[in-house]
């Protein structure tokens, strides 16, 4: 039976290749995801190894808040002398060399006065170290010398090469304030890594870094090398007694291990997202394999019956079909595995084009990548082969002598509609529970949503055969009205075998349902954002960072206050703090002006209460207040990243505003409590209306702040929507894999259908059907099948987006349909049908009439 199975597979090369392709793309996505994330991890681990190569222990501030824009707490510069005086210490140096938190940003400015931002929001690392302390740094001097004065800086060699900088050239630097002029004294590299993507590096001496980053008399950390014979653990124990309560010491190995875990966590997050899209492609591929093998088994009824007559047992027939699936799975997984290498290169190129160039340190092709990719692809193929294999075992031996023998119906066929409805109900329940149930973690919610979608897709696919006839009546009218006799035949062929048509359409249904879901939800978010901004923001202009979300210097907003035509500015500071045991974004507002430029929907309180906001008071987002059972007048504690504690009283609560985060305090309290405060947003009102001349005047006032961006309210909304559209396009591109897989499924089904109807097509040709009419018939049949997939998938995607919108209605989302986008999707479905029909239509039109008539 093994030989029979392999010969049968070899005799059906085309359909085997088309079936295998259904798995290839999904496995390639899995393989490529591992390759690209493992390569990133290798790059950063190499940086970490270089960072701690000459270091035994590191003294740093205790972390209170993980994602603070002002960075971790610093340590007093005077601590360095006490550490150096310890007999267990051979050498120590204080500095600012941090590649993890990006707390010290220094944006480089080119000779035209424009910020160098090759990656848009790529990191702009600012380091502070003295050349004599090179042993404690991952940076290596490639050319020139280290910076040693207030107007000197060394930059990374990659940026210098890209933008034409050489040692001795002037360069601008913006580090938390206006642009200052420096001279390039040297070019550096980051350890043994080829690049860290689009990030830029600026290296100053320690004194200059302290001034630029507003950290006079402080260090980010103190690196320590142990004296000969002293272990890192002994060194840590010796240092601990001299530390203040706000500082801590760890061995270099501990820090490297912790940083490696953080890197792996971030890489895993990217990997799981890519896995999700690969899983969707594999899920669609499973439908394609199931449908293809089911058709193949049905066409080989007499073959299996003959084998049974010759003595083959049911188990041998089962093994034969499963063996075909196993060989297909191994073959497809092997191709997908190595295609993943090319896909990783392609994803890297796409990321680079989007300004997210990834670190380079040599491609990693780990054994885990091989094992997981081969196992996933093969397992899914074998599982998809199981149902057709079981059907093959039910072929009775007597079918070998029957003309037109068909497979017997399954015993569960009568219950199929009820099973489908139960599966759909279960899927909707799981999806809704994940959205509406409280107290669930992010992982639990994502799992419920994924299982709900999976069950919903399977349920709709199971019941789709019952919907084929009415759907063909709906979507088949163009073929009937415009396609002539070929169109009428195509319409009849689509309903001849509803199960096959439904199974073919179901693969396309999944891809179209998901892209429709993303499109509708994206439209909901964009429309709701535009409506909310128009309703809440009363300012003429908004000042933000170039990327729209990073903090920017306070001085930028203050500069605008004196610009021509400006009547009022109101800045909003932002940073993260620990509030009631969880990390929250905290806004710092000017109570006297904020209500003029931004409306609040008050649940308890008023604009008058806001105007009287004291230094020990806060206003809270209503959902946050409810979650923590806080009422107006209640008190709570806020702890900043630097460990400063504020006892605050709730002054008012609001349900809607333009503020970031859930907690807002006065700017006076914010500036006194948060180190190195920065603005997240500045509202600007001008005399009269916004105009091109006024915009030019504001831009000229911001010449010294090239990373700040002032724009009208309409332009602000348009830019945010554009950024979100870019994100949606990336998602569409990843989901396109599933549509491509379903396209090959349609090709496979049509090829098999042409093979099955060889005599029929020959008869049609004999009675006068032209080659062109034969091609048109297959093409119309393919388009009808694709439109059935669209008619099933698009309403399903709209339904899912509707549920999500209802679940998030408290966030201000209102349902909206992107009609033009949905029309485009319908056209894509028609195009997919036309493309899928090219090969089968050519085969049908080129059949030899006499050979087709005598075909058996």
pLDDT digits (tens, 9 = 90+) for 38-68: 887 877 777 777 778 888 999 998 888 877 8
Q: What percent of the chain has pLDDT over 90?
A: 24
pLDDT at 411: 64
Residue 319 tokens, joined: 């093994």
For residue 450, is pLDDT > 70? yes
The percent of residues above 70 in pLDDT, for the chain, comes to 89
Please write the tens of the pLDDT for every residue from 339-368: 888 877 776 666 655 555 555 556 788 888
Interval 768-793: pLDDT, tens: 888 888 888 888 888 898 899 899 99
Q: Are 619 and 532 in contact (CB under 8 A)?
A: no
Cα gap 378→357, rounded to integer Å? 33
Summarised one tens digit per residue, pLDDT across range 811-843 is: 777 888 889 888 998 888 888 888 888 888 887
Exposure string over 489-505, b if 16+ CB within 10 A, otherwise e: bbbebbbebbbbbbbbb
Element (DSSP H or E) covering residue 756:
helix 713-756
Interval 552-570 mean pLDDT: 90
Give the Cα separation of 270 and 477 in Å (integer).
45
What angle, rounded to 10 degrees, do the helices at 301-309 and 314-353 form?
A: 140
Amino acid 76: pLDDT? 93
Cα angle for residues 805, 809, 815 (degrees, 5° grid)? 45
State which of 185-194, 630-639, 733-742, 846-855 shows the largest mean pLDDT.
630-639
* Cβ neighbour number for residue 518 with a 10 Å cutoff: 20
What pLDDT is attached to residue 682? 93
Joined together, the tokens standing for residue 792 give 């099933």
Per-residue model confidence (pLDDT) at position 119 = 47
pLDDT band at 475 (very low <50, low <70, confident <90, very high): confident
Per-residue pLDDT at 706 exceeds 60: yes
In this structure, of 137-141, 314-318, 453-457, 674-678, the range with the lowest mean pLDDT score is 314-318
Neighbour tally for 342: CB within 10 Å: 13
Kind of pairing between the strands at 180-190 and 152-156: parallel
Q: Look at residue 10 in the predicted model and tell me its pLDDT.
A: 58
pLDDT of residue 84: 92
The residues, ordered by sequence, that sit 6+ positions from 539 with a Cβ below 8 Å of its Cβ are: 570, 597, 598, 683, 684, 685, 713
CA angle at residue 533 from 532 to 539, to 5 degrees? 145
Average pLDDT over residues 385-411: 65
Give per-residue pLDDT as tens, 288-321.
787 777 777 766 666 677 767 777 777 877 778 8
Beta bridge partners of 621: 654
State how far the Cα of 855 lies from the Cα of 200, in Å rounded to an integer: 70
Task: Return d(Cα 777, Cα 650) in angstroms, integer.
Answer: 72
Average pLDDT of the segment spanning 102-115: 77
Angle at 71 between CA 66 and CA 75, to 5 degrees: 110
Nearest Cα neighbor of 373 from 38, 37, 36, 32 is 32
Residue pair 354/402 in contact (Cβ under 8 Å)? The answer is no
Exposed e or buried b for every residue in 609-641, given b needs 16+ CB within 10 A?
bbeebeeebbbbbbebbeebebebeeebebbbb
CA dist list (Å): 524 to 376, 571, 679, 722: 35, 29, 29, 14
Confidence of residue 5 (pLDDT cuts 50, 70, 90): low
In angstroms, the CA 657 to CA 661 distance is 10
Of 470, 526, 462, give the one whose Cα is nearest residue 495.
470
Q: Using 50, 70 and 90 to split pLDDT, how confident is the model at 798? A: very high
Question: Helix 713-756 to helix 819-845 angle, to the nearest 10 degrees?
Answer: 20
Enter the pTM of the model: 0.80
Cα(16)–Cα(332) distance, integer angstroms: 10
- In this model, does residue 479 exceed pLDDT 60? yes
- Dihedral angle sign, alpha carbons of residues 174, 180, 184, 185: negative
**pLDDT, tens digit (0-9, with 9 covering 90-100), for 504-557:** 888 888 888 989 999 999 898 888 888 888 888 989 999 998 777 788 889 998
Q: Is the pLDDT of residue 243 over 60?
A: yes
503, 290 Cβ separation under 8 angstroms = yes
User: What is the tens place of the pLDDT at every residue in 719-750?
Assistant: 888 878 888 888 888 788 788 888 877 887 77
The DSSP H or E segment spanning 195 is strand 195-196
For residues 287 and 744, give the distance between their C-alpha atoms in angstroms, rounded to a whole number.
Answer: 11
Give the closest residue to 210 by CA, choosing from 202, 220, 200, 195: 220
């Amino acid at each position: 039976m093994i030989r029979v199975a392999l010969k049968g597979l070899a005799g059906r090369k085309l359909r085997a290749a088309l079936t295998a392709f259904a798995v290839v793309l999904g496995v390639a996505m899995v393989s490529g995801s591992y390759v690209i994330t493992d390569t990133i991890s290798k790059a950063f681990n190499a940086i970490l190894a270089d960072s701690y190569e000459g270091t035994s222990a590191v003294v740093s501030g205790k972390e209170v808040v993980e994602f603070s824009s002002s960075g971790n707490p610093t340590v007093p510069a005077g601590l360095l002398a006490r550490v150096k005086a310890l007999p267990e210490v051979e050498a120590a140096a204080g500095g600012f060399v941090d590649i993890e938190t990006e707390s010290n940003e220094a944006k480089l400015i080119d000779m035209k006065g424009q910020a160098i931002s090759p990656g848009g929001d790529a990191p702009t690392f600012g380091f502070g170290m003295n050349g004599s302390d090179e042993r404690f740094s991952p940076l290596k001097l490639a050319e020139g010398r280290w910076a040693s004065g207030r107007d000197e800086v060394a930059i990374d060699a990659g940026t210098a090469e890209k933008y034409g900088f050489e040692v001795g050239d002037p360069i601008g630097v913006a580090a938390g304030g206006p642009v200052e002029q420096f001279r390039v004294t040297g070019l550096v590299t980051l350890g043994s890594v080829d690049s860290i993507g689009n990030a830029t590096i600026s290296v100053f001496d320690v004194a200059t870094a302290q001034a630029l980053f507003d950290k006079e008399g402080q260090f980010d950390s103190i690196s320590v090398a142990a004296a000969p014979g002293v272990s890192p653990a002994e060194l840590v124990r010796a240092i601990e007694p001299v530390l203040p309560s706000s500082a801590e010491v760890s061995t270099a190995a501990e820090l490297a291990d912790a940083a490696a875990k953080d890197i792996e966590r971030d890489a895993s997050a990217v990997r799981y997202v890519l896995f999700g899209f690969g899983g969707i492609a594999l899920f669609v591929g499973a439908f394609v394999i199931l449908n293809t093998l089911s058709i193949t088994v049905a066409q080989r009824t007499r073959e299996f019956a003959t084998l049974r007559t010759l003595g083959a047992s049911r188990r041998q027939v089962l093994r034969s079909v499963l063996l075909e699936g196993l060989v297909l799975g191994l073959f497809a997984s092997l191709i997908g595995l190595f295609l993943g290498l090319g896909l990783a290169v392609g994803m890297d190129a796409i990321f680079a084009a989007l300004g997210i160039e990834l670190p380079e340190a040599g491609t990693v092709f780990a054994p885990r990548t091989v094992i997981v990719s081969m196992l996933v692809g093969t397992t899914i193929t074998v599982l998809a082969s199981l149902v057709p294999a079981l059907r093959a075992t039910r072929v009775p031996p007597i079918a070998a002598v029957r003309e037109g023998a068909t497979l017997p119906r399954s015993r569960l066929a009568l219950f199929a509609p009820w099973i489908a409805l139960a599966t759909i109900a279960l899927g909707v329940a799981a999806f809704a529970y994940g959205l509406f149930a409280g107290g669930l973690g992010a992982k639990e919610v994502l799992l419920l949503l994924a299982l709900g979608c999976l069950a919903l897709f399977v349920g709709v696919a199971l019941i789709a055969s019952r919907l084929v006839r009415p759907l063909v009546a709906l979507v088949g009218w163009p073929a009937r009205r415009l396609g002539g006799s070929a169109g009428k035949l195509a319409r009849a062929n689509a309903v001849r075998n509803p199960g096959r048509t439904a199974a073919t359409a179901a693969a396309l249904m999944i891809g179209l349902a998901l892209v429709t879901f993303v499109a509708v939800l994206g439209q909901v978010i964009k429309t709701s954002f535009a409506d909310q901004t128009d309703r809440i923001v009363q300012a003429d202009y908004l000042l933000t960072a170039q990327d729209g979300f990073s903090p920017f210097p306070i001085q930028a907003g203050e500069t605008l206050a004196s610009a021509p035509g400006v009547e009022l500015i109101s800045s909003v500071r932002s940073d993260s703090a620990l509030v009631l045991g969880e990390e929250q974004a905290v806004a710092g507002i000017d109570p006297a002006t904020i209500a003029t430029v931004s409306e609040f929907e008050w649940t308890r309180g008023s604009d008058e209460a806001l105007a009287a906001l004291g230094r020990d008071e806060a206003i809270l987002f209503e959902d946050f207040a409810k979650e923590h059972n806080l009422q107006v007048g209640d008190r709570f504690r806020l702890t900043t990243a630097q460990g400063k504690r504020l006892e605050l009283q709730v002054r008012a609560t609001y349900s809607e505003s333009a503020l970031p985060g859930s907690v807002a305090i006065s700017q006076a309290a914010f500036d006194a409590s948060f180190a190195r405060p920065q603005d997240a947003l500045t509202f600007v009102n001008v005399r009269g209306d916004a105009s091109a001349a006024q915009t030019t005047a504001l831009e000229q006032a911001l010449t010294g702040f090239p990373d700040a961006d002032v724009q009208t309210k309409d332009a602000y909304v348009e830019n945010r929507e554009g950024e979100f559209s870019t994100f949606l396009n990336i998602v569409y591109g990843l989901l396109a894999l599933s549509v491509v897989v379903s396209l090959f499924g349609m090709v496979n089904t049509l090829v098999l259908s042409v093979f099955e109807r060889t005599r029929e097509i020959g008869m049609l040709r004999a009675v006068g059907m032209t080659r062109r009419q034969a091609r048109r018939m297959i093409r119309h049949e393919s388009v009808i099948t694709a439109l059935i997939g669209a008619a099933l998938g698009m309403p399903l995607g709209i339904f899912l987006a509707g549920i999500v919108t209802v679940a998030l209605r408290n966030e201000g989302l209102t349902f909206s349909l992107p009609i033009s986008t949905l029309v485009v999707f319908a056209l894509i479905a028609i195009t997919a049908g036309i493309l899928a029909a090219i090969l089968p239509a050519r085969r049908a039109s080129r059949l030899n009439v006499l050979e087709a008539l005598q075909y058996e």
